[in-house]
Amino acid sequence: MGGELFFADADSNYSDADFVIFGAPFDGTSSFRKGSRLAPDAIREASYNFETYNPYFDIDLADIPFHDAGDADIPFHGAEDVDIPGNYTVEHAQAAVGEMVTTILRDGKIPIMLGGEHSLTVPCVRGSMNHFNDLGVVVLDAHFDLRQEYEGQVNSHACVSRRIIEDITDNYTSIGIRSGTRDEYSLARSRGITYYPADFVEDKGIPHVLAELSRHLDLDTSHLYLSLDMDVLDPVYAPALGTPEPFGLTDRQVLSLIRRLAPRSIGFDLVEIAPGFDSGNTALLGAKFVREFIASARASR
């Protein structure tokens, strides 16, 4: 357990906080590059680079009550050479995350999870659905994550969206998609899943996508959960990832999406950074996105 390191300016105590950050240091199903269990602390460390003042919103993070609750009760942190014991499964990690999210939502606060791998989004979405009974989900991701199972696991990072649409809600939209099996693309079409491929974002531009997305969400969605799989970004902007995929979104495109979606979001996560595959840029970008999420969400309330 880290325990000493907290996200910069998360100076509020828990009871006064409107936003509660927590870490989820687990990467047990990661298939290509492991390391996202090290991301929560890498993001926290990177967060100290930034000023508290946000000139775009004319708002100061020092004036916004937010709290860092530490990590969910997942027993593997820190050293890069610590392997996850075989008897600790992704389902254990999901249960720990679910407990954290349920408590935060019950206390009327907005949870912000620092992953960890993408499988940990499932308990966040489930907890949000249980709390609000009515939920839209937007996932920013290079990958569909629509597999029924992957490497024998139904709760793999490659199955996140499938679990969400089958077990929780089909009010689901993904943005930035550019990788999946033929079956995943067929499933998306046959289920009528709304998705905006990375090529579509590139061709039409973010303002067009945002306008279409807003119309779509206004119709169906009163509460929104936002999940940012960092591999939605082009590896040029975010090289330290579990499964990098070229021809992705720019940092500014993702920023625009966060600024637009944060105001209506009741929860947020940022997953799949694998520190160690760059010199810290991806964790810096992740930390900045968390700060922009909080500023954007607050500016509108």
Residues within the interface to Mn ion (CB under 5 A): 118, 141-143, 145, 229, 231
C-beta closer to Mn ion: residue 46 or 228: 228
Q: How far is the CB of 141 from Mn ion (least distance, A)?
A: 4
C-beta closer to Mn ion: residue 233 or 295: 233
Helix (H, G, I), strand (E, B) or coil at 273: strand
C-beta closer to Mn ion: residue 54 or 128: 128
C-beta closer to Mn ion: residue 46 or 159: 159
79: its two tokens: 């050293």
- Helices 281-299 and 251-261: crossing angle in degrees, nearest 10, is 30
C-beta closer to Mn ion: residue 30 or 171: 30
C-alpha to C-alpha distance for 279 and 89, rounded to whole angstroms = 30
Give yes or no for a contact between 282 and 254, defined as CB atoms under 8 angstroms apart: no
Q: Where are the beta strands (DSSP E) in 118-275?
A: 136-140, 172-177, 194-197, 224-229, 265-271
C-alpha to C-alpha distance for 114 and 74, rounded to whole angstroms = 13
Q: How far is the CB of 257 from Mn ion (least distance, A)?
A: 15
Q: How far is the CB of 118 from Mn ion (least distance, A)?
A: 4
Q: How far is the CB of 32 from Mn ion (least distance, A)?
A: 10
DSSP for residue 85 = P
Helices (H) and strands (E) in the chain, counts: 9, 10
Q: How many CB atoms lie within 10 A of CB 149?
A: 12
Q: How far is the CB of 286 from Mn ion (least distance, A)?
A: 14
